[in-house]
Amino acid sequence: MGSELTIRRMTRAELDILVDWAAQEGWNPGLNDAQIFWDTDPEGFVAAERDGELIGGGSIVSYGGRFGFMGFFIVRPDHRSLGLGRQLWYHRRNLLISRLQQPAVIGMDGVFTMQPFYAQGGFVFSHRDLRFEGVGAPTKPRDSIVDAGQVAFDDLARYDTAHFPAPRERFLQAWVGQPNSRALAAIQDGVLRGYGVIRACRQGFKIGPLFAADGETAEALYLGLADFASGQPVYLDVPENNPQAMDLARRRGLREVFGCARMYHGPPPVLAHEEIFGVTTFELG
């Protein structure tokens, strides 16, 4: 196993392989994640090859050059502990920096045990994103909760941009319209007060994002989304720096099952953290 590592752009077929590896690691990807992620930034996926075989990869997605996100970092188990992951990770970081406007701002959700390594690479801890699990249950939605398709897309995109570090219209259009999903919006006095999406995954359903003006609105959206997964596992990735979001998870009887450290390279984005009740994904931000 002395051959050198080749790092290059990933092909679309290889992304499917990476998603399968992620499923085997227990990451539980969404059924439509691979295609939506690819369409968001086809140049944002890097493959590591050795002896002509794919042995690892990851995402380095750029949102219009204004914000980058590193995710999907995975090395095949039989090629770990050889220093190859370090080579791949630093290559990805440097390549993403080159794709962004300066000063480059990059986010990532990394497992807690890897925080010291990411810190060596210039990433600074922001907060923890904690995955909670519950069970979907039928509910009668409030009158203020409507299908997101009833909201003008430009309005939805503006609201999303207030809660994400950069515009992501291409991603958002596909995300809210994907198969096996439900997207809901909260409208009060004609004003958009929040929105959320639930999507089918390899196991159960994930809610993300869940953005709302307050805890009551977030809970109404959560219940309307969880109704789509009645009797099935439901997962919500909650930012710990929003106390109202943590309260929502406790009120709904959710249990913590996993977590990541949100870290940033470069100036951290200024966001309405008190209105972020569930992050979109650990892979693309």
Q: Which of 68, 103, 127 is the last residue of a domain?
A: 127
d(CA 15, CA 3): 23
The total number of residues written for the chain in this structure: 285
Domain shared by 28 and 114, yes or no: yes
Domain shared by 112 and 213, yes or no: no
Q: Establish if 284 belongs to a structural domain.
A: no
Structure tokens at 6: 């080749």
- Name 89's Cβ contacts closer than 8 Å, sequence gap at least 6: 58, 73, 117, 121
**Reported confidence tier of residue 3, pLDDT bands at 50, 70, 90:** confident
Count Cβ atoms below 10 Å from residue 189 Cβ, excluding itself.
6
Domain shared by 120 and 248, yes or no: no
Domain shared by 64 and 170, yes or no: no
Asked whether the predicted pLDDT for residue 106 surpasses 60, the reply is yes
Q: Establish if 46 belongs to a structural domain.
A: yes
Q: Establish if 155 belongs to a structural domain.
A: yes
3-state secondary structure string across 202-217:
CCCEEEEEEEECCHHH
Question: Quick one: average pLDDT of 138-155?
Answer: 94
For all residues of the chain together, what is the average pLDDT?
96
Percent of the chain with pLDDT over 70: 99
Question: Quick one: average pLDDT of 166-184?
Answer: 98
Over residues 10-25, the pLDDT tens digits come to: 999 999 999 999 999 9
Q: Which of 127, 154, 184 is the last residue of a domain?
A: 127
Structure tokens at 146: 């409507």
Asked whether the predicted pLDDT for residue 280 surpasses 60, the reply is yes
Nearest to 229 by CA among 195, 196, 185, 256: 196
Over residues 225-265, the pLDDT tens digits come to: 999 999 999 999 999 999 999 999 999 999 999 999 999 99
User: Range of 62's domain?
Assistant: 6-127
pLDDT of residue 21: 96
Q: Establish if 134 belongs to a structural domain.
A: yes
The number of distinct structural domains making up the chain is 2
Asked whether the predicted pLDDT for residue 1 surpasses 70, the reply is no
**Reported confidence tier of residue 2, pLDDT bands at 50, 70, 90:** low
Q: Establish if 73 belongs to a structural domain.
A: yes
Percent of the chain with pLDDT over 90: 97
Helix (H, G, I), strand (E, B) or coil at 120: helix
Over residues 36-75, the pLDDT tens digits come to: 999 999 999 999 999 999 999 999 999 999 999 999 999 9
**Reported confidence tier of residue 141, pLDDT bands at 50, 70, 90:** confident
